[in-house]
């Protein structure tokens, strides 16, 4: 069963320097029908103006990952980590017992477009940690590349939750199928372009809750970039 959230139904926050779309309730946007799904709590589609960004702010007990689509994002945190992430890079910050960080557009001339996604952790008050890895387009072209998992399988980043995240690029005749274990949920987020999944056409910004489905088949992409989440069968996020 597919429950589709169209791109234009997402929450909107436009602060001038930041233009954001919220799939789930976040900040000043509250929708009782969109609190989260399984262990997914936040999917924000953010565009940040040159040399602008989020100043130092705290997080705790959340798995936070950033996926850059265009431009470059500069990260600094209280663990002493400093990095710039670009398209193909995936950054995972496990906030654990508490961390502060800042995120700025690294460029003074070009905007940055990225997805920031929060997963509820299975373990509370753990030591904060930071991970980053690059996944080349060739690894995602016409397939679903595992980028986050509970055990770091296949060179993925290791999250403190029973969740797996895949990234894929699909154009023209490229296709791939993801098999889901029994009693698992899934969520699909189309970051760019459009693609057909199990006969459903999903466009840029669309998301879909998936229940009671054995497999997900991606085809007929038009410059599509997708994130796919293999999740526990919970309707709403739960701490711990």
Q: What is the pLDDT of residues 63-105, one digit of tens each?
A: 999 999 999 999 888 888 888 999 999 999 999 999 988 897 8
How confident is the model at residue 101, as a pLDDT?
80
CA distances from 12 to 35, 144, 239 (A): 15, 29, 26
When the pLDDT of each residue in the chain is averaged and rounded to a whole number, the result is 95
pLDDT above 70 covers a percentage of the chain that reads 100
List, in order, residues 6 or more apart from 239 with CB less than 8 Å away. 61, 120, 121, 124
DSSP codes, 59-92:
E-S-EEEEEEEES-EEEEETTS-EEEE-TTEEEE
Q: What is the pTM of this model?
A: 0.96
- pLDDT level of residue 55 (50, 70, 90 thresholds): confident
3-class DSSP assignment, residue 152: coil
CA distance 223 to 16: 28
- pLDDT level of residue 1 (50, 70, 90 thresholds): confident
Fold annotation for 2-231: Jelly Rolls (2.60.120)
How confident is the model at residue 54, as a pLDDT?
82
Give per-residue pLDDT as tens, 159-203: 999 999 999 999 999 999 999 999 999 999 999 999 999 999 999
How confident is the model at residue 238, as a pLDDT?
81
How confident is the model at residue 149, as a pLDDT?
98
Mean pLDDT for the stretch of residues 6-17 = 96
Mean pLDDT for the stretch of residues 129-142 = 97
How confident is the model at residue 240, as a pLDDT?
60
């Amino acid at each position: 069963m597919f429950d589709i959230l169209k791109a234009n139904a997402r929450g909107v926050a436009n602060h001038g320097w930041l233009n954001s779309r919220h799939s789930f309730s976040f900040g000043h946007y509250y929708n009782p029908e969109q609190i989260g799904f399984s262990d997914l709590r936040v999917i924000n589609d953010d565009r940040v103006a040159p040399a602008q960004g989020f100043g130092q702010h705290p997080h705790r007990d959340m798995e936070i990952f950033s996926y850059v689509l265009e431009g470059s994002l500069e990260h600094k945190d209280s663990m002493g980590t400093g990095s710039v992430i670009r398209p193909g890079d995936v950054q995972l910050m496990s906030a654990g017992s508490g961390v502060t960080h800042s995120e700025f557009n690294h460029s003074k001339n070009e905007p940055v477009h990225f997805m920031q996604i929060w997963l509820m952790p299975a373990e509370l008050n753990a030591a904060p940690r930071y991970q980053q890895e690059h996944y080349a387009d060739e690894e995602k072209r016409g397939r679903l590349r595992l980028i986050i998992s509970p055990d770091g399988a296949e060179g993925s980043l290791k999250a403190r939750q029973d969740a797996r995240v895949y990234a894929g690029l699909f154009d023209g005749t490229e296709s791939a199928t993801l098999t889901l274990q029994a009693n698992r949920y899934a969520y699909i987020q189309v970051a760019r372009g459009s693609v057909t999944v199990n006969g459903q056409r999903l466009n840029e910004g669309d998301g879909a809750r998936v229940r009671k489905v054995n497999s997900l088949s991606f085809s007929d992409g038009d410059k599509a970039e997708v994130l796919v989440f293999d999740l526990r069968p919970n309707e709403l996020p739960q701490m711990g």
